[in-house]
Amino acid sequence: MRVLAVDPGLTRCGIGVVDAVRTGRRAAMVGVGVVRTPATDPVEARLLAISEGLETWLDTHRPDVVAVERVFAQANVRSVMGTAQAAGLVLVAAARRGLPVAMHTPSEVKAAVTGDGRAGKEQVTTMVTRILGLDSPPRPADAADALALALCHLWRGGASTRLEAAAHSALVTGRRNAYAEAEAAARRSRRNVVVRSQASSADSRR
């Protein structure tokens, strides 16, 4: 399973892609990066830049699931609004591709990677570097957080993701079947109209 995880933010949006390796708690990093936007740009321009960056990552890496850090209320309302806006872009991009989305809290991610739900950023970065066997710590912290989120989902959300993917597939199949049935009914209706029309025409000639 391939997970593309996003640590949403308006100034820095961390993105990490991780593959599950065979079974168990093993994983391999596929890619990591940060989409940045200048604080001096208008909000709409910054959101557009983030959206385009996300689209590129999704098209390039073709994940099986998208994981997003759940947004919590903070004292800084402006900051949390920007984070929520960026998270919304992730949800829309995933929905457009029919990808299941999972959301995990920061404490869930920290606990999954370090064993401590209150771990600091440096501790998270150290453990991500060690788990993925990286030569150097991913920087900035937003990139490390995205990888930690991907690992968290692989270990804690893999089973639910497979169920969601199966349900989505069933839903799509059901829609296709319903569409096919509707088309067949429409064809039968058109044939009936033609038959009735021909019958009426024959009667009038008599």
- Based on the residue annotation, tell me whether 19 is a catalytic residue of this protein: no
Residue 69 annotated in ligand binding: yes
Residue 183, annotated ligand binder? Answer: no
Respond yes or no: is residue 7 known to be catalytic.
yes
The answer on whether 44 is annotated among ligand-binding residues is no
Token readout for 67 is 């994981």
One of 19, 69, 181, 183 is an active-site residue; which one?
69
Task: Given the residues 7, 41, 55, 203, select the one marked as catalytic.
Answer: 7
The reply to whether 135 belongs to the active site is no
Enter the tokens of residue 126: 């150290």
Question: What is the distance, to the nearest Å, from the Cα of residue 24 to the centroid of all Cα atoms in its chain?
Answer: 23
User: Where are the extended beta strands (E) located within 22-169?
Assistant: 27-36, 65-69, 101-104
What residues does 101 pair with on adjacent strands? 66
Q: How far is CA 105 from CA 99, 155, 173, in A?
A: 20, 14, 32
Residues identified as active-site: 7, 69, 142
Binding residues: 7, 69, 142
Residues belonging to the binding site for Mg(2+) are: 7, 69, 142
